[in-house]
A and B are shown apart, each in its own frame.
Chain A
Amino acid sequence: DIQMTQSPPSLSASLGDKVTITCQASQNINKYIAWYQQKPGKAPRLLIRYTSTLESGTPSRFSGSGSGRDYSFSISNVESEDIASYYCLQYDNLWTFGGGTKLELK
């Protein structure tokens, strides 16, 4: 089974900051990684698929990159509506989520 190690577990940022979240897979996942945003009491929302492809409606301040085992997700110019938890998902071999990152306002 593929394990996904996501860091950091929590992140504190000011409005306008750039933040970065990383996910490391236990093996090469061939760029088959997606990123989700989840707000309290709501279902997850797909933001990015296949490492860096923005889903329709995802603001351009969100971005993703990586290859092999190592991937990152960034938000430039954090806005108040971005306060949420974020999860990576590998879908190269079955499906595994990272542990999540809670983004809070400083």
Chain B
Amino acid sequence: EVQLVESGGGLVQPGRSLKLSCAASGFTFSNYYMAWVRQAPKKGLEWVATISTSGSRTYYPDSVKGRFTISRDNAKSSLYLQMNSLKSEDTATYYCARHSAPSNWFAYWGQGTLVTVSS
């Protein structure tokens, strides 16, 4: 059974940094692209970042490019999201997701971790 468990969320002040983690199990982690998707309170879904199987390629929307960095450790079956220069509009539940295959849909999701950016 595919399992994705996020951690690292919490309350952080504007301008500060936070690093999220996602522990994966139930599949061969190194074979799949991975992603982060977020959802602001009472709002819709927004793709945040995707990383290739080896980690050599990363993809971001303009809203987070230059502030967020996605990375992975295939030996630990773990995914990360380093978030810098956080803004109030980054407040959201952050979901770890597994792509079905390169450049395809999000097939599996974790339960999410809440990040609140506030002074």
Contacts and interface: CB of A to CB of B under 8 A. Distances in A.
Interface of A: 1, 34, 36, 38, 42-46, 49, 87, 89, 91, 94-100
Q: Among B35, B59, B62, B100, find the residue whose CB has the most chain A CB atoms closer than 10 A.
A: B100
B47 interface: yes
Given A1-B61, A49-B100, A94-B61, A43 B109 contact: yes
Contacts of A98: 44
B44 A94 contact: no
B45 interface: yes
Contacts of A43: 95, 109-112
Nearest to B108: A46
A97 B107 contact: no
B61 A89 contact: no
Interface of B: 35, 44-47, 50, 59, 61-62, 95, 100, 103-107, 109-112
A89 B50 CA distance: 15
Contacts of B112: 43
Contacts, number: 48
A45 B111 CA distance: 11
B44 A87 contact: yes
B108 to A, nearest CB: 8
A91 B47 CA distance: 11
B27 to A, nearest CB: 15
Contacts of A99: 44
Contacts of B110: 43
B23 to A, nearest CB: 15
A76 B61 CA distance: 35
Contacts of B35: 95
Given A43-B110, A94-B61, A95-B50, A100 B105 contact: no
A91 B104 contact: yes
Nearest to A90: B105
B45 A87 contact: yes
